[in-house]
Amino acid sequence: MSMKESNSTLNVQELIAKNSNRGLLSFVEKLMPKLLLAIAVVSVLTTVGILATLLFETYTFFTRVSFWEFITGTEWYPFANSTPTYGILPLIVGTLKITGIAVLVAVPIGIATAIYLSEYASFRARKIIKPILEVLAGVPTIVYGFFALTFVTPILRSISPEVSIFNAISPGIVVGIMIIPMIASLSEDAMNSVPNSMRDGAYALGSTKLEVAIKIVLPAAISGIVASTVLAISRAIGETMIVAVAAGSTPRFDGDLTGSIQTMTAYIVQVSTGDVGYGTTIYYSIYAVGFTLFIFTLIMNMLAQYISKRFREEY
Amino acid sequence: MTTTVKPKIQVPEKEKESASRGSVYQSNQLNLWYDTNHALKNIDLDIKENEVTAIIGPSGCGKSTYIKTLNRMTETIPSVKTSGEIIYRGKNILEKGYRVEELRTKVGMVFQKPNPFPKSIYENIAYGPRIHGIKNKKILDQIVEKSLRGAAIWDEVKDRLNENAYSLSGGQQQRICIARCLAIEPDVILMDEPTSALDPISTLKVEELVQELKKEYSIIIVTHNMQQAARISDKTAFFLNGEVIEFDQTDKIFSNPSDKRTEDYISGRFG
């Protein structure tokens, strides 16, 4: 017995026709894309606005300080009373010290973690380690800053008396710790997406687990791994709180890591929280420094995109 | 209708000298479980060297599982349990302490879907010899050429050895995988439905290749395609529900099977 016969009063097509409200539906259908576009435009406009402010104030700065002095000068003494100097290289060197140390810490640990999680870890181990990594990624950077200042720095000072309270090594290490989860989790994603058939092919030739991980999976996932690293570097370049708390505020153009330094971000914090008057050259200098920082991270992000396209091992 | 359906599959004439050949593989009372699913039941098979042994049967009969136990690829699935023995060249490979890497160096495998590494053609072939310690560039060059010739693909790829293997067609990729396997000169080649993802012309090429390779290697091939089994194999094993129903000379299986179920399967009543 079919449904139609069992209940002659029930006609689904009729019910659908009765309940449909085509007019309202098509109005919402037409309105929705416009609404969503408007919302999307908000973020685009914000970006444009920030960029415009940055450009405008940076331009004002360069009407007072020569562009050449800014990009080649090795002395950054904006607070000097008689002749302030605005050579950004010491700040860039400070940023590179922090970034370099962070990369040295984070890349080996991050990639090793990714290899372990993707190739070796049991289901149980992964279930424990991944959330811990995510917690690490969620710690506020000010907490990392105090961790550097009150935990890592004293340890370093007990190892070597040359290390001063404010130095590059301690915040460098801690910025590295901060970006480990980023490298580990993005690299693990890249390695996980390598098809198992490739691992099988390698195992069937008598490869050990390590050979499969290092010679097959790692190269196949290299574009994702490099891209994650570049993104993490960009994050390290822009990191502010850790260096503001633990790296000091001495702009220096040298290779010393044990003494106080200053990064681009830390300088911006120093000026923003100080009592510098609106319209002074120092005030405008933070925009120029901010713009330089923006260029750095922009290049890094573009590099990440380029690498993930260019070095993809096709499969 | 009660007339017996005579199998329509033609088996080409083959030399019969297998009695004098030695065994490569002997499975004795082999059982395998995926968790509680009993996938292989008391398998006894004696596979001879320098022959092509085909394994046929409907989907889910355990034929792929069986061939994967022969190089212990089933171990990649954590829930697998086995009992019984697989004797390869006199040693039980399921015994604790048998180095699986050593076994897989002797027993190559070609998979259902071509799975070259995302590297150049050259690197695909050189991978095996490299991980086993062969580093000399001149020797590697020779191995690569010999293996590609052995897999009948040298002429097609000799001018593009540095291109990514994924730039080749599916059939070419599969022959690259065969060449990759030949590069370490194994003793046995296991083939798990090697032509199921290929077009008819590529299939034909791979089948011709199997005939050629049989002179130097022992080949065990799982296939869905009964005509293929009839064309290329010397012996055929028919699997059903995890059991070996019949194992005999291929012409015997296809012309005069002893078991009713074998006859039903090869005449197309099921499967």
pLDDT, residue A150, reads 95
User: If residue B33 lies in a helix (H) or strand (E), which one and from where to where?
Assistant: strand B23-34
| Mean of pLDDT over chain B | 90
pLDDT, residue A83, reads 87
Which residues contact residue A176 at a Cβ distance below 8 angstroms, ignoring those fewer than 6 apart? Answer: A101, A102, A103, A104, A105, A106, A109, A236
Nearest to A200 among B102, B115, B119 (CB): B115
Which residues contact residue B116 at a Cβ distance below 8 angstroms, ignoring those fewer than 6 apart? Answer: A201, B124, B165, B166, B168, B173, B176, B177, B180
- B2-30 confidence digits (pLDDT tens): 445 555 677 776 655 555 678 899 999 99
- B52-77 confidence digits (pLDDT tens): 999 999 988 999 999 999 999 998 88
What distance in Å separates the CA atoms of residue A12 and residue A99, rounded to the nearest whole number? Answer: 66
- A243-253 confidence digits (pLDDT tens): 999 999 999 99
Inter-chain CB proximity A206 and B116 less than 8 Å: no
Per the CB < 8 A criterion, the answer to whether B217 and B186 are in contact is: yes
Inter-chain CB proximity B73 and A200 less than 8 Å: yes
Two tokens, residue A215: 């010679």
Q: Which of B207, B234, B243 is nearest to B38 (CA)?
A: B243
Looking at the complex, report in whole angstroms how far the Cα of residue A302 sits from the nearest Cα belonging to chain B: 25
Q: Which of A44, A60, A8, A107 is nearest to A282 (CA)?
A: A60
Q: How far is CA B232 from CA A177, B112, B263, in A?
A: 60, 17, 19
Predicted TM-score of the model (pTM): 0.83
pLDDT, residue A314, reads 64
Residue B1 has pLDDT above 70, yes or no: no
pLDDT, residue B268, reads 83
pLDDT, residue B75, reads 87
pLDDT, residue A168, reads 95
A310: contact with B, CB 8 A cutoff? no
ipTM (interface predicted TM) = 0.89
Looking at the complex, report in whole angstroms how far the Cα of residue B135 sits from the nearest Cα belonging to chain A: 15
Q: Where are the beta strands (DSSP E) in A203-314?
A: none
- Region of residue B242 (left: phi > 0; alpha: psi -120 to 50; beta: else): left
pLDDT, residue B14, reads 62
Among chain B, residues having any CB pair with chain A shorter than 8 Å are 71, 73, 76, 101-105, 108-109, 111, 113, 115-119, 127-128, 131-132, 164, 166-167, 177, 180-181, 184
Q: Which residue has the higher pLDDT, B220 or B205?
A: B220
> Chain A: residue nearest B128 by CA?
A205
pLDDT, residue A145, reads 95
Confidence of residue B101 (pLDDT cuts 50, 70, 90): very high
Residue with tokens 């049989």: B214
Interface test with A, best of B123, B131, B135, B189 (most A CBs within 10 A): B131
Inter-chain CB proximity B131 and A215 less than 8 Å: yes
pLDDT, residue B247, reads 95
Residues of chain A with pLDDT under 70: 1-8, 312-315
- B110-150 confidence digits (pLDDT tens): 999 999 999 999 999 999 999 999 999 999 999 999 999 99
Q: Quick count: other Cβ atoms within 10 Å of Cβ A11?
A: 12
Looking at the complex, report in whole angstroms how far the Cα of residue A124 sits from the nearest Cα belonging to chain B: 13
Q: Which of chain A's residues have a Cβ under 8 Å away from the Cβ of B113?
A: 197
**Strands B80-88, B23-34: parallel, antiparallel or unpaired by DSSP?**
antiparallel
Looking at the complex, report in whole angstroms how far the Cα of residue B113 sits from the nearest Cα belonging to chain A: 8
What distance in Å separates the CA atoms of residue B232 and residue B55, rounded to the nearest whole number? Answer: 12
pLDDT, residue A1, reads 46
